[in-house]
Amino acid sequence: MGLGIKTASRQAFRSVHFALGFHAVEQTKSADILGLMRKLRPQNCGIELIRFGGSGDGGYLIPDDLGGIEYCFSPGVNTVSDFENQLADRKIKSFLADFSVDAPPIFRPEFVFDKKFLGAFDREHFITLASWKDKYLRNYTGDLILQMDIEGAEYEVILSTPDSVLDQFRILVIEFHCLDRLFDAFVFNLLSSCFEKLLKSFHVVHIHPDNRGESVRRGDIEVPIMMEFTFLNKRRASSVRPQVTFPHELDADNSRTARHLTLPKCWYT
């Protein structure tokens, strides 16, 4: 009887808030969030980090391990292509995709552009990462780079991409959005599944909060809403030990006008 009253009260609470334009959800247990954070703790894999791209937004820290890489896939163009521009200076060709623009802001012969969004399945304005790779490099077996900033669609793309395709990438640079939803128990399962999939083949080597978004806190747990993660394929790691110093000396705020934001200690201690 007690459980029935408790359930009915919870449903009534949710109904009232839903009618007011709010959606009440069950919160994720702190132990579950901290457990995921421990798995995502950045590691020093024996390779120095270097900065590619601009001094603010569009600049990322990646391992200095580009030798032999010929191609980068970079979904999410918007108005900045500094990262791909510097790769082109290293003779690395970039495939770019974004349906919201008609062309990259920089024109170089090393750029190949598709007016498409990346998605979980192929349809009119969307293409999957696997289909995109096959379109240009069907039989290519060398290592690749992925630089992805697609405003929240990264989760469906990662979960729908075969492991065999992901494993072709030596380096992943991904901006993850809506990380405050880790506190939502239902959404936590989806987001953590995405990270767990990547962690099968990759080490996290760097995390940088995007200060254009805020940071949310519950107790000792603080989560910036948007963060840039850099991953290195495990086969490239010569050694693995936890990173202990943040921010990195090459880190820079994405926005000069927004509040400065550094990686909270709960992500690396």
Classify strands 227-233 and 169-176 as parallel, antiparallel or unpaired.
antiparallel
Count other C-beta atoms under 10 Å from residue 86's C-beta: 16
Q: What is the dihedral of CA 211, 216, 219, 220, to 10 degrees?
A: -30
126/253 Cα distance (integer angstroms): 31
- The residue type found at 112 is V
Those residues whose C-beta lies under 8 Å from the C-beta of residue 96, and which sit 6 or more positions away, are: 74, 75, 77, 81, 84, 104, 111, 112, 113, 114
Please say if the pLDDT value at position 267 is more than 60.
Answer: yes
Q: What is the pLDDT of residue 23?
A: 66
Amino acid sitting at position 60: Y
Residue among 208, 247, 249, 244 nearest 228 (CA)? 208
pTM of the model: 0.92
When the pLDDT of each residue in the chain is averaged and rounded to a whole number, the result is 93
Domain ranges of the chain: 27-267
Residue 6 predicted with pLDDT over 70: no
Burial class (CB in 10 A: 0-12, 13-18, 19+), 29: exposed
Is the domain 27-267 a CATH 3.40.50 member? yes
Q: Report pLDDT for 58.
A: 85
| HSE-CB of 14 using CA atoms within 13 angstroms | 10
* CA-wise closest residue to 85 among 122, 109, 53: 53
pLDDT by residue (tens digit) across 77-96? Answer: 977 789 999 999 999 999 99
Per-residue pLDDT tens digits for 208-255:
999 999 999 999 999 999 999 999 999 999 899 999 999 999 999 999
Higher model confidence: residue 125 or residue 9?
125
Higher pLDDT, 13 or 152: 152
Q: pLDDT confidence of 30, banded at 50, 70, 90?
A: very high
Report residue 269 as tokens. Answer: 């201690």
Distance CA 236, CA 139 (A): 22
CA dihedral 219, 221, 226, 229 (to 10 degrees): 170
Closest residue by Cα to residue 42 from 261, 212, 263: 263
Confidence of residue 202 (pLDDT cuts 50, 70, 90): very high
The yes-or-no verdict on residue 21 having pLDDT over 90 is no
pLDDT in tens, 108-143: 999 999 999 999 999 999 999 999 999 999 999 999
**C-alpha to C-alpha distance for 86 and 68, rounded to whole angstroms:** 16
